[in-house]
């Protein structure tokens, strides 16, 4: 039987680099490491993202659910900034993860500040740079033509992935795909989605509800309400979902600038 990840790699069209040495973790080793850490209170997608960030010296790593309709929300992240940037892609419908899933190929931007790179994502690019990100690398997670998700890597320095880093990134992408497939296979009878996979869909609903609620509360359009929610989340270094839930629960009122001057 093929080792975990090898069959998935061939399905996705990736092949290991024979010139990369044994210092790079294999997909099987990555899966074994996160399995060993299971029970720590973190989900498998989150454990994978944290491990990937540490192994590659990244500023962030995040896994998202995708389907033919587009971005479906964050399923695991190494930290708040990575989750917020992926949330932003969900809100705007643009960014490296969106492109990687739509075009079914990896999307690499080694310097977001370079002219032309920023224009690829007029909404996402400036926000990412403002958050300290200079390079992004997104990998589609799919089997054949079935879109399942993406793994997006954020780096604070402008540089391409070298050969060893690329081999590691591909191994983590393969492991991320295995994790998504495993979680789907472990669904309880009668359930629609495994809890770790269902959360992003609940997230999408709550974000839309909070946007509508704030639109009425602040007497602004839906687009402006969404911008207010995002700005508040970034300013407070909180997740978009936390802010949305506080708005829905009545724990938070986000004022317009003119209200704050009264």
CA 220 to chain centre: 29
CA atoms within 13 A on the CB side of 229: 32
Task: Give the end-to-end CA distance of the chain in Å, rounded to a whole number.
Answer: 69
Furthest CA-CA distance within the chain:
69
pLDDT at 10: 36
Q: For residue 239, give the 3-state DSSP assignment.
A: coil
Domains of the chain: 24-185 (3.30.450.40), 195-253 (1.10.10.10)
Residue among 258, 244, 229, 77 nearest 153 (CA): 77
The 10 Å Cβ neighbour count of residue 123 is 14
Residue among 92, 66, 80, 73 nearest 200 (CA): 73
pLDDT at 226: 72
CA atoms within 13 A on the CB side of 185: 6
Q: For residue 167, give the 3-state DSSP assignment.
A: helix
pLDDT at 19: 59
pLDDT at 219: 82
Q: Quickly count helices (H) and strands (E) in the chain.
A: 11, 5
Q: Which residue has the tokens 């839930």?
A: 245
Provide the 8-state DSSP code for 103. H
Q: Given its phi and psi angles, is residue 109 left (phi above 0), alpha (psi -120 to 50 degrees) or beta?
A: beta
- How far, CA to CA in Å, does 238 sit from each of 16, 28, 131, 138, 164? 38, 34, 13, 23, 34
Provide the 8-state DSSP code for 24. S
Q: What is the pLDDT along the chain (262 residues), one digit of tens a residue?
A: 333 333 333 334 444 555 555 578 899 999 999 999 988 888 899 999 999 999 999 999 999 988 787 777 788 999 988 988 988 888 788 899 999 999 999 999 999 988 566 777 888 898 899 999 999 999 999 888 888 899 999 999 999 999 999 999 999 999 999 998 887 766 555 544 445 555 555 556 677 788 888 888 888 876 677 778 777 777 777 777 788 888 888 888 887 654 444 4
pLDDT at 9: 38
């Amino acid at each position: 039987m093929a080792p975990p990840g090898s069959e998935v790699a061939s399905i996705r069209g990736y092949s290991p680099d024979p010139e990369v040495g044994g210092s790079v973790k294999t997909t099987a080793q990555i899966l074994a490491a996160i399995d060993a850490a299971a029970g720590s209170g973190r989900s498998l997608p989150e454990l994978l993202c944290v491990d990937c960030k540490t192994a590659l010296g990244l500023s962030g790593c995040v896994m998202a659910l995708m389907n033919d309709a587009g971005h479906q929300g964050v399923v695991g992240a190494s930290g708040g900034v990575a989750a917020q940037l992926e949330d932003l892609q969900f809100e705007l419908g643009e960014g490296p993860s969106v492109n990687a899933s739509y075009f079914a190929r990896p999307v690499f931007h080694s310097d977001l500040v370079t002219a032309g790179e920023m224009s690829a994502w007029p909404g996402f690019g400036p926000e990412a740079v403002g958050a300290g990100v200079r390079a992004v690398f997104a990998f589609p997670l799919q089997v054949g033509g079935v879109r399942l998700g993406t793994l997006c890597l954020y780096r604070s320095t402008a540089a391409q992935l070298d050969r060893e880093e690329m081999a590691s990134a591909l191994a983590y992408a393969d492991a991320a795909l295995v994790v998504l497939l495993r979680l789907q296979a472990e669904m309880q009878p009668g359930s629609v989605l495994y809890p770790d996979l269902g959360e992003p869909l609940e997230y999408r609903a709550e974000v839309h509800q909070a946007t509508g609620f704030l639109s009425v509360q602040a007497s602004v359009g839906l687009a402006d309400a969404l911008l207010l929610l995002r700005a508040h989340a970034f300013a407070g270094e909180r997740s978009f979902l936390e802010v949305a839930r506080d708005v829905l629960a009545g724990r938070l009122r986000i004022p317009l600038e003119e209200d704050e001057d009264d």
